[in-house]
Structure 1
Amino acid sequence: MTKFMLKRLRVFSALVVLVTMVLTARLAWLQIYQYDHYLARAETNRMRDLPIGAPRGEIFDRNGELLVGNRPGFVVSILDLSKRDQPAVVAYLSELLEMEETDISTKIWDQRFRSFAPIRITTKPVSNKVVAQIEERRIDLPGVIVETQPMRYYTNDNLAAHALGYVGAISREQLQQMQEQGRYYRGTDSIGQSGVEKTWEELLRGQDGTLRVETNRYGRRIRVLAKEDPVPGHNLTLTLDARLQNIAEQAFLNVIAQLQEEGNDQVGKGAVVAMNPNTGEILAMVSLPSYNPNTFSENFSMLKDDRDNPLMNRTISGAYPIGSTYKMVGAAAALEEGIISEQSIITCTGRKVFFPNDPSRGCFNNAVHGALNVVQALAKSCNIFFFELGKRTGIDHLTAYAEDFGFSRTTGLNDLEGERTGSLLRREEGKYWAPGNVLTAAIGQGHTITPLQLANYGAMLANGGIHYRPFLVREVTDKSGETIVSIEPEIINQLEYKDATWAAIHRGMEAVTLPGGTASSMRDLPVKVAGKTGSAQVNLSGTQKAHSLFVGYAPADAPEIALAVIVEHGGLGGQAAVPVAKQIFDKYYSISEE
């Protein structure tokens, strides 16, 4: 061997020895000095922290009847699904769950950065049959797990659906909004989407627990290492009376069915609101057509495209012409301003011209009511009487008194979103005002109002001018029953009208339900009712029937319930709204007396 070759061999041997020493040192360092670090990493790779869904708080009516609860349901989730296995797994789940492959893939993609957290594929519970099929093919479905989650359950299906609301999958926009507010949600979580489920989301939502499990190399659970129990959300007690709510819904549906049998094919929509005039508590809130929150997600597309708009809460978002139910405003304005007294007489001739160059105006069917005072005029709903009051009082006074009763502004309800303000026909600076407009305004045409505003107006008439803030949630309690929040009646405004004004209006509203009044069919009820009927034109061509309205309270001498009923295209007040109100008062007080 030459010297050159020997030298190269020595260099190579030295390099081998050096590399061996470096590797040996590195191995020794890892085994001795980094042992704890890599042991912890290995343990972490074998452990998973799985969220345990917290049940939402339950919702009860004022008497403790459960309206919204939870029941366990199975949901399908993905945990540690490899890219190699994803196409086959997604294809199978698509067929099994009857979902689009793109929808499943999108859920996985959106949650790809959430390491070790299950990605929920289904938001509604799957059947036991689906669970069995997944278990049977578990070896072929790596990463697919079945979790048990508390699912929202509405005990009476459609009952008070718009007030209660519904829970649905959180959207990207909502997720971002929650994150900006510092509130933790997963992209697969559900969230309150409407009603009190939405407005009281923060308290209804519980705090998820954690299940720490050990898994094998395939990601399958071997054993439970630790468990942190979830904390349920807080419970709500509402002001709603489930019995009265059911009575009101059935009464409305009964009258609608009867009108349809008689040939009115325009009816089917409307609203009912009942309030306690002494507190502002909402006792019933009916919006029809309605929907079933239990099947909302399955029927969403159909509900969204329905021309009758069942998702709209008509009690707060429907704006209707107020019609003759407005006439107590004109009476209050004229009495308070000293324009008339209760004894003042105005003669109805059936039809009359009030302003030059303005067409003659008249009562319904040009009925001649003769000499009337304000009590009799309310009972008969005499247009001529209130045209004359409007002319004498003026639009500015009418507007001011309408605003006293809360018209053209929200009622103050905080428990639901989407309340409209309604509107008033009023004089606007810089715009032409025809003299005859005041006549239109005096009988309630040109104004719009929501059913909740109408009920609030009825409550103020019943209690002598106190505007209580309407509210739906009475109390919030934790799982042990301890009160977290208690809502008390709150006065927003109080009208200082003369006692004589209230007395005249009350007598007039009571006369409406007596023989000769426009709601005389109520005279045989178990309690004495005070009220006012109304019909509001929808279009001048007459192709659509007028909306039918009623506002009132009972018992007349000690009011407990203020009631507003609006039946879209129901015709005259006595044809649709009064029968609904009558059934409500009849059944509620008949049962109460029993």
Structure 2
Amino acid sequence: MEKQKKKKSHFPFRLNMLFFSVFFLFSVLILRLGFVQIVYGENFKRDLERKEDITVSNPVPRGNIFDRNFHIIVDNVPKNAITFTNEGYSQSDMLITAQKLAKFIVKKTDMVTERDKRDYWMIKNPKLVDAKITDQERALYAKDKLTDMDLYKLKLDRITAAELNQLTNEDLEVLAIYQEFSKGVKFIPVMVKNEGVTDKEMAVVSENLQSLPGVETTTDWDRSYAFQNTLRSVLGNVTKSGEGLPADQLEYYLARGYSRNDRVGKSQLEMQYEDVLHGNKSKTKNITDKAGNVIETHTVFAGNKGKDLVLSINMDLQMAVDKIIEEELWSAKGKPGTQLTDRAYVVLMDPNTGEILTMSGKKLVRDSKTGRTVMTDDALGTFTTTYSVGSTVKGATILTGYKTGAISPNTYFDDRGLKIKDTPLKKSYAYLGQLNEINALKKSSNVYMFHTAIRIGKGHYEYDKPLNFTNKMAFETIRNSFASFGLGTRTGIDLPNEQTGFKGQSKLPGYLLDLVIGQYDTYSAMQLAQYVSTIANGGYRMQPHIVKQIREPGRDGENIGPVLKEITPTVLNTVDGKKVWLKRVQLGFKKVMQEPGGTAYKFFKGAEYSPAGKTGTAEAFYDGPLRSHFGKEPPPVMNLSLISYAPSSHPEVAMAVLVPWAYDGKDDNRANLKIGRRVLDTYFKMKKK
């Protein structure tokens, strides 16, 4: 009986202790919850309600490019596109979406590399990949003797070719789509496909957007060229959607608010005026919750299309000049000694404003596929390639002679050839008698220029004796003077990659004589155009420019918007000297084309527009694409040039023609004069219309 009583008293005690413990714990929990709610409740509430604003920029169409008569040259063509925006999706989520999207679209796989295939195979076969690591390697990993990267490389290397071949074409399409997904930055759309997206693909994807998180159907754009290849090398290119920002300019563009996948101008006009053509991107605000889920979207700024460029180019004239060059270049190729002839250039410029009316270049190249010789656009070569130009520089030589006091108006020299010790006779193409500077220009006397150079160098000539100069700065004096006209220096054209030309390195006296007849340094067609414009307009070196206006985009169906900026004429420098000096050179240039005996008279006689100008022929060394075909040094070739302006009394157009390597041997095909006459005839004929 006593034992039973003891048991009964012990059980209630334990039960009471249990109840007490539970009560105590609940009391502590309630106190803790109350403390948390009172002290930290507001903070937790704010965290739960917290939202994050993320502004996303979207690209807009680039500005259009027009010619001076508002004919559209470069436009935007809309095209179907499919994009993906990563709103915080995991790798597995994106892979699932890629697999679904691959069922609806055809995606090219040519950009998929072997490394990409290995990575994808690893994602698809995690168990097989893990089995490629040995127990010994796992033990080394556990001891920190192998890193995660070491194991990853081991797995990659151990994937066999047979295993990679297990990937089907469908797998590769999924991989190609997944690659595009992975390029994106959070909330920044990336282009999945914008080439050859069919209407059917657009419709099917649009119908299934709910099951394709992050995927959108939209409209992309592409550049179209109304005049096809005309001026194509100067217009430049825009990066493709897969390229994004150029690697060498990445930091530059990112600092200016660009996204990595933005399309930008990567060459010539498109690159030079990128800030104008690119426009202001639209801005959308995405509001996310704490987990990163988008809960609201608002358009902050609809964006503006890029500004339009109006060029100074007359495209009708440009095409006409292109055709003339093509016809004369093909014609020249039918003449003897033209195995190396493959290009020609023409620049037409308003000498009073610097506006470029035409910059035409054509080049013959061999098509690698067909093996046939075809004509391609090389307008770029008008300012990126330079050549010896010959006698066209003689106007600058005479004016340099005036400025230095080497000659004065109506100075006469005998055109008899000069014999300098240990050098061949340096002479004109024929003996031209006693000449003043005007007739020296008219008949293109070399010897007159030689005597002028000797005086600039303060030298003394004696038959078959060495020629020495006491003026050691003669080369610099002449080159600086030439540069004031635009020869041997940058013209300032509003396009990148302009070349200044090659300057001969030797300063032996004989080379100074070559310099003043255009047989030593090299110049571009654009430099020749600026030089002859400077003489034509009375001594003002005008900066050439291809852009005439920057305009706002057209609105309400209008093709052209209001003028935002007018490109005004810019005088880079004024040539030092008396006006009478320029007038005498202008008279000499007029005689070249309008008076019997002038070197261009036979081709320009009877021209109603009263042309003035200067011809040029330079013996040069060939350094073109066929150079390697010669077992020895290529034969010397002749470069042909022509500068002109018209009308001679009140010039409105200046012209430079340059035909490098026009012929070798003695058969002058006169391609420069044939092209020049036809171009000026065409200009004034079109002006009348």
TM-score, L = length of structure 1: 0.80
Amino acid at match of 1:435: P
The separation in 2 between residues aligned to 1:25 and 1:388, in whole angstroms, is: 108
Note if contact 2:82-2:215 (Cα within 8 Å) is conserved in structure 1: yes
Alpha carbons of 1:33 and 1:265: their partners in 2 closer, same or farther (altered >3 Å)?
same
Counterpart secondary structure, 1:475: strand
The separation in 2 between residues aligned to 1:98 and 1:579, in whole angstroms, is: 52
Is residue 6 of structure 1 aligned with residue 15 of structure 2? Answer: yes
Alpha carbons of 1:401 and 1:79: their partners in 2 closer, same or farther (altered >3 Å)?
closer
Alignment match, 1:70: 76
Using the TM superposition, give the Cα deviation of residue 381 of structure 1 relative to its aligned residue in structure 2, in angstroms. 2.4
Amino acid at match of 1:10: F
Alpha carbons of 1:64 and 1:201: their partners in 2 closer, same or farther (altered >3 Å)?
same
Given the alignment, which residue of 578, 583, 590 partners 1:503?
583
Using the TM superposition, give the Cα deviation of residue 436 of structure 1 relative to its aligned residue in structure 2, in angstroms. 1.7
Is residue 246 of structure 1 aligned with residue 254 of structure 2? Answer: no
Is residue 203 of structure 1 aligned with residue 214 of structure 2? Answer: no
Q: Which protein shows a greater Rg?
A: 2
Given the alignment, which residue of 615, 628, 639 partners 1:533?
615
Note if contact 1:289-1:310 (Cα within 8 Å) is conserved in structure 2: yes
Correspondences of 1:554-565 after superposition (within 5 Å): 554-565=646-657
Amino acid at match of 2:573: N
Using the TM superposition, give the Cα deviation of residue 534 of structure 1 relative to its aligned residue in structure 2, in angstroms. 1.7
Using the TM superposition, give the Cα deviation of residue 539 of structure 1 relative to its aligned residue in structure 2, in angstroms. 1.7
Alpha carbons of 1:309 and 1:262: their partners in 2 closer, same or farther (altered >3 Å)?
closer
TM-score, L = length of structure 2: 0.70
Is residue 356 of structure 1 aligned with residue 427 of structure 2? Answer: no
Correspondences of 1:151-550 after superposition (within 5 Å): 151-168=222-239, 169-180=244-255, 183-210=256-283, 228-262=301-335, 264-289=338-363, 313-337=380-404, 339-340=406-407, 343-349=410-416, 352-364=417-429, 367-394=430-457, 395-396=474-475, 397-413=477-493, 415-425=494-504, 433-479=507-553, 481-514=561-594, 515-519=596-600, 520-539=602-621, 543=635, 545-550=637-642
Using the TM superposition, give the Cα deviation of residue 109 of structure 1 relative to its aligned residue in structure 2, in angstroms. 3.7
Amino acid at match of 1:399: R
Amino acid at match of 1:161: R
Using the TM superposition, give the Cα deviation of residue 576 of structure 1 relative to its aligned residue in structure 2, in angstroms. 2.1
Amino acid at match of 1:96: K
Counterpart secondary structure, 2:264: strand
Alignment match, 1:295: none
Alpha carbons of 1:317 and 1:104: their partners in 2 closer, same or farther (altered >3 Å)?
farther
Note if contact 1:550-1:573 (Cα within 8 Å) is conserved in structure 2: no
The separation in 1 between residues aligned to 2:534 and 2:50, in whole angstroms, is: 69
Using the TM superposition, give the Cα deviation of residue 475 of structure 1 relative to its aligned residue in structure 2, in angstroms. 2.6
Note if contact 2:105-2:201 (Cα within 8 Å) is conserved in structure 1: no
Alignment match, 2:91: 83
Using the TM superposition, give the Cα deviation of residue 265 of structure 1 relative to its aligned residue in structure 2, in angstroms. 4.1
The separation in 2 between residues aligned to 1:451 and 1:119, in whole angstroms, is: 43
The C-alpha deviation readout for 1:83-103, integer Å capped at 9, x for no partner, is 225457289499524541357
Counterpart secondary structure, 1:527: coil
The C-alpha deviation readout for 1:510-546, integer Å capped at 9, x for no partner, is 2222444333312244422212222333328552632
Alpha carbons of 1:73 and 1:4: their partners in 2 closer, same or farther (altered >3 Å)?
farther
The C-alpha deviation readout for 1:380-420, integer Å capped at 9, x for no partner, is 3233333333333334553343233233322233x222122
Alignment match, 2:149: none
Structure 2 unaligned segments of length 5 or more: list them: 1-9, 114-175, 458-473, 556-560, 623-632
Using the TM superposition, give the Cα deviation of residue 190 of structure 1 relative to its aligned residue in structure 2, in angstroms. 0.8
The separation in 2 between residues aligned to 1:121 and 1:175, in whole angstroms, is: 22
Using the TM superposition, give the Cα deviation of residue 79 of structure 1 relative to its aligned residue in structure 2, in angstroms. 2.3
Alpha carbons of 1:52 and 1:403: their partners in 2 closer, same or farther (altered >3 Å)?
closer
Note if contact 1:526-1:586 (Cα within 8 Å) is conserved in structure 2: no
The C-alpha deviation readout for 1:461-505, integer Å capped at 9, x for no partner, is 111211122223333233474443333212221124334422332
The separation in 2 between residues aligned to 1:500 and 1:360, in whole angstroms, is: 34
The separation in 1 between residues aligned to 2:566 and 2:575, in whole angstroms, is: 27
Amino acid at match of 1:334: G
Alignment match, 1:100: 111
Using the TM superposition, give the Cα deviation of residue 4 of structure 1 relative to its aligned residue in structure 2, in angstroms. 7.8
Note if contact 2:68-2:311 (Cα within 8 Å) is conserved in structure 1: yes
Amino acid at match of 1:451: A
Alpha carbons of 1:310 and 1:582: their partners in 2 closer, same or farther (altered >3 Å)?
closer
Counterpart secondary structure, 1:388: helix
Alpha carbons of 1:533 and 1:94: their partners in 2 closer, same or farther (altered >3 Å)?
farther
Count residues in correspondence: 562
Using the TM superposition, give the Cα deviation of residue 122 of structure 1 relative to its aligned residue in structure 2, in angstroms. 4.8
Using the TM superposition, give the Cα deviation of residue 433 of structure 1 relative to its aligned residue in structure 2, in angstroms. 3.7
Note if contact 1:94-1:100 (Cα within 8 Å) is conserved in structure 2: no
Root-mean-square deviation (CA, aligned residues, Å) is: 4.2
The separation in 1 between residues aligned to 2:588 and 2:111, in whole angstroms, is: 63
My pick for the range that moved more, 556-565 or 55-64, is: 55-64
Counterpart secondary structure, 1:389: helix
Note if contact 1:534-1:573 (Cα within 8 Å) is conserved in structure 2: no
Amino acid at match of 1:556: S
Note if contact 1:175-1:185 (Cα within 8 Å) is conserved in structure 2: no
Structure 1 unaligned segments of length 5 or more: list them: 292-298, 427-431
My pick for the range that moved more, 557-566 or 57-66, is: 57-66
Using the TM superposition, give the Cα deviation of residue 589 of structure 1 relative to its aligned residue in structure 2, in angstroms. 0.9
Amino acid at match of 1:70: N
The separation in 2 between residues aligned to 1:238 and 1:14, in whole angstroms, is: 89
My pick for the range that moved more, 367-376 or 468-477, is: 367-376
Using the TM superposition, give the Cα deviation of residue 105 of structure 1 relative to its aligned residue in structure 2, in angstroms. 5.6
Amino acid at match of 1:239: S
Alignment match, 1:55: 61
Given the alignment, which residue of 623, 634, 659 partners 1:567?
659
Note if contact 1:158-1:290 (Cα within 8 Å) is conserved in structure 2: no
Is residue 553 of structure 1 aligned with residue 626 of structure 2? Answer: no
Using the TM superposition, give the Cα deviation of residue 509 of structure 1 relative to its aligned residue in structure 2, in angstroms. 1.6
